[in-house]
Amino acid sequence: MTDKTILVIGTYDTKDDELTFLADVIHTEGGQVITMDVSVLGAPSRPTDYSKHDVAQEAGSSIAAAIASGNENHAMQIMARGAALLAARLLTEGRFDGVIILGGTMGTDLALDVCSAVPLGVPKYIVSTVAFSPLIPAERLAADTQMILWAGGLYGLNSVCKASLSQAAGAVLGAARAAQMPDPDKPLIGMTSLGTSALKYVMPLKPALEARGYEVAVFHATGMGGRAFESLAGQGAFACVFDLCTQELGNHVNGSNISAGADRLTNAGLNGTPQIVAPGCYDLVDVIGWEPLPDKWSEHMKHEHNRLLTSIVLDDDERRLVARAHSAQLAKATGPVAMLLPEQGLGEWDRAGADLHNQAGLSAFLLELEQTLPRNVVAHRIECHINDAKFADKALEVFDSWRASGFIA
């Protein structure tokens, strides 16, 4: 088996034993390690491959300046910036194959910046005392970040934290050995959707786009999927996006915790990436199913999808609010944008005769959207439902016209 090198990052002044244990396990399993110290005040028991001074210098600062600030948050932001820049540079030099960062809240804050600086496909693991915590905002998670809860890891080694650290060491080394990087020579389409019980356009669109020579990545629009989509869109990873389920934007403007962040529906446009958009399942707001329902939804129709997720059905005024949010986000686009508006519904459950059918609400939404869409967006009304073949045909028609015009490679 070909050895892989793992970059191990942490505060070696306070977590020396734990970081050394992590590196020892990687070595025992046949991997190689390079180490980076991101502490400020103290020193490791033995030199690391990249010292805290190297990290601060990479950020255009110094340890002396970090200490002189008198503010632990400011000091750690210097180290986070330096660690992210240094990790990115070392990766371009071919120095490591995967990265693992250890920490509490301070180390996790830094780790999120490092992972965002490392591209998709390179294994990136955060071992954290606050893994999976609501402290971590969705918008700071890189698309393929892996997190492991560091149980019993606040201070010193013990059998409990060794169990977590040894698994983490094996996970990052195994991931580095098994990783397959995305093909940079094959253009990638980003598409958003929910499951095929609600939205079915994926089934005709994916093979049709693949037949045209594109790879298609479909993102589950339930908060974290949209965050991964936006993260990659912000990196310019997509030749075009088929953002056909924007429900997460409605979640966000209505205060749901199931959010992809405030920048949902913006990053592709800011990069000039062509966007084919449809407001799939716009009429629903998803909330956390196991939490008490907020009072503002008490009189709304609702559907308990499972024990994790409950869907709230919006009234007409709330639908207009969602329409205006779409227009505001799309106004930031610098590339071509087509908005597809099926007149017979935007989710399987709102068809005529289905439980959530509300023609007046749909009409109010479509009218508000058309009246507020910015000039850079071309609206296409379609006499069909979003799950009809006619909808997929129209999306492909727009896509093919953009290819012919040279908007899409």
Q: What is the CATH number of the domain that holds 122?
A: 3.40.50.12020
Based on the domain organization, do 352 and 380 belong to the same domain? yes
CA distance 335 to 315: 32
| Same domain (yes/no): 131, 227 | no
pLDDT tens string, the chain, 409 residues long: the values are 468 999 999 999 999 999 999 999 999 999 999 999 999 999 999 999 999 999 999 999 999 999 999 999 999 999 999 999 999 999 999 999 999 999 999 999 999 999 999 998 999 999 999 998 888 887 788 888 999 999 887 788 999 999 999 999 999 999 999 999 888 888 999 999 999 989 999 999 999 999 999 999 999 999 889 989 998 999 899 999 999 999 999 999 999 989 898 999 999 999 999 999 999 999 999 999 999 999 999 999 998 888 999 999 999 999 999 999 999 999 999 999 999 999 999 999 999 999 889 999 999 999 999 999 999 999 999 999 999 999 999 999 999 999 999 999 8
- Pick the last residue of a domain from 178, 201, 222: 178
Count of structural domains within the chain: 2
Question: 273 and 322 share a domain?
Answer: yes
Predicted local confidence at residue 183, as pLDDT: 81
Sign of CA dihedral 357, 361, 364, 366: negative
What is the dihedral sign for C-alpha 44, 125, 214, 404?
negative
Q: ∠ CA(300), CA(266), CA(403), 5° rounding?
A: 115
In a domain, 297, yes or no: yes
Q: Is 210 a domain residue?
A: yes
pLDDT of residue 142: 85
- Strands 377-382 and 215-220 turn out to be unpaired
State how beta strands 302-304 and 309-313 pair: antiparallel
Are residues 145 and 265 located together in one domain of the fold? no
User: Could you tell me if 306 and 357 lie in one domain?
Assistant: yes
- Are 150 and 236 found together in one domain? no
The answer to whether residues 266 and 372 belong to one domain is: yes
**Sign of the CA dihedral with 148 first, then 149, 155, and 160 last:** negative
Residue 183 lies in a domain: no
Strand partners, 285: 312
Task: Report the distance separating Cα 295 and Cα 304, nearest Å.
Answer: 16
How many Å apart are CA 126 and CA 33, to the nearest integer? Answer: 16
Examine the domain organization and report whether 54 and 192 are in the same domain.
no
Residues 288 and 171 in one domain: no
> Taking a C-beta distance cutoff of 8 angstroms, is the pair 39, 72 a contact?
no
What type of residue is 4?
Answer: K
Half-sphere exposure of 128 toward its Cβ, with a 13 Å CA cutoff? 22
94 and 208 housed in the same domain = no
Residue 387 lies in a domain: yes
pLDDT of residue 137: 82
Instruction: Report angle CA 85, 88, 90 to the nearest 5 degrees.
Output: 105
What pLDDT does residue 2 have? 60
Cα angle, residue 193 at apex, residues 188 and 199 outer, rounded to 5°: 130
The CATH number linked to 321 is: 3.40.50.12030
Q: Which of 143, 178, 213 is the last residue of a domain?
A: 178
- Same domain, residue pair 69 and 173: yes
Find the domain containing 222 and state its range.
Answer: 188-405
**260 close to 138: Cβ distance less than 8 angstroms:** yes
* 45 found inside a domain: yes
Residue found by looking up tokens 């996970």 in the block: 171
Last residue of a domain, one of 178, 199, 222: 178
Q: Write down the pTM of the prediction.
A: 0.86
Q: Is 70 a member of any domain?
A: yes
User: Do 144 and 28 lie in a common domain?
Assistant: yes
Q: Dig out the tokens for 284 from the structure.
A: 């629903």
